[in-house]
Amino acid sequence: MDTTDRKLRAILADVLGLSHDQVAEFTADTGLFGDLPELDSMAVAGLLTEMEDRLDIVIDEDEIDGEVFETYGSLLAFTQAKRDAA
Lay out the site mask for another protein across 38-77 (x = CB under 8 A, - = otherwise): xxxxxxxxxxxxx----------xx-xxx-----------
Minimum gap (Å) between residue 49 Cβ and another protein? 5
Contact partners, residue 21, CB within 8 Å, separation at least 6: none
Interaction of residue 13 with another protein, rule CB under 8 A: yes
Q: Are 50 and 15 in contact (CB under 8 A)?
A: yes
Q: Among residues 47, 55, 67, which one has the least CA distance to residue 2?
A: 55
What is the binding site for another protein (CB under 8 A)?
13-17, 36, 38-50, 61-62, 64-66
